Structure formats: structure tokens, C-alpha cells
Amino acid sequence: MKDIEFNLEPKEIRPNLEIRGTIVVSYPGRYDGVVINTQISDSNELVIYKSYNGKKISQNVSRLFINKDVMPENKAEFTALIQFEPKQIHEVKFRASIIEQHKEIESKIIFATYRI
């Protein structure tokens, strides 16, 4: 088993449709938390994170760090959405990384599609 497992649903994303992600860390060493970064191809638009582990995020954030201290059983769940109306199909890259002392230990990438 890898040190990080990452799942995302759905992988066919539509405007304002809730995106749900799950990250499970099995890294045996010490780590500070996980970070999720996204990139929407051919676009300056952002994925907006709305919650993690049941806690609402009050500000719009486009990069999400989840501290290990709020990850029961080394698991994190998050919700996000994309709000703009696409004029073309976009590939969306989600990258979840384990962070230890500002360094990336391991990561996993998932690709999704964004369309009308």
C-alpha cells in the first residue's frame, strides 16, 4: 500500500456540482498534514474548497491544507466546487500531498473533466 490514497467523486464535474474527496495517509513517519492543490487546464479559474472533515470553510480557498491534528485515523474528507460556466472541456488536476516540515513526502494525482 502506498503512503497516501486519494479518491475523488465525481470525475465528470459540472458547474456548481459538489466534488467529494477522501485522503487516507498510511505514512509510518511523522508528518504535518496533507495539502490539496488543483489546476484547471486552459483556464485562470479556481476550484473552491468548501469543507473538510465536516468543518465548513468560511473563506473561499483554492489550496487546502489539512493539519494532521484534525485527521482522525489519518483520514481527511473534503468538498469543493467549480463555479464558472465552461466554454470548452477542461481537464482538472487534483494533487494530494503528504507534507513534513514544508517538504512533500509523497503525492497522488487524479485527473477529472470539467464540462457543461
Q: Please, what are the domains in the chain?
A: 4-114 (2.60.40.10)
Contact 107, 39 (CB under 8 A): no
Q: Is the peptide bond before 10 cis (omega within 30 degrees of 0)?
A: yes
Which of the four pLDDT bands, split at 50, 70 and 90, describes residue 96? very high
| Those residues with Cβ within 8 angstroms of residue 1's Cβ, 6 or more apart along the chain or in another chain | 26
Exposure class string for 97-112: b at 16+ Cβ within 10 A, else e = bbbeeeeebebbeeeb
Q: Residues 104-108: what's their mean pLDDT?
A: 97
- What does the mean pLDDT of the chain come to? 96
Give the angle 57-42-107 at the CA atoms, nearest 5°: 55
Which tens digits make up the pLDDT trace of 42-91?
999 999 999 999 999 988 888 999 999 999 999 999 999 999 999 999 99
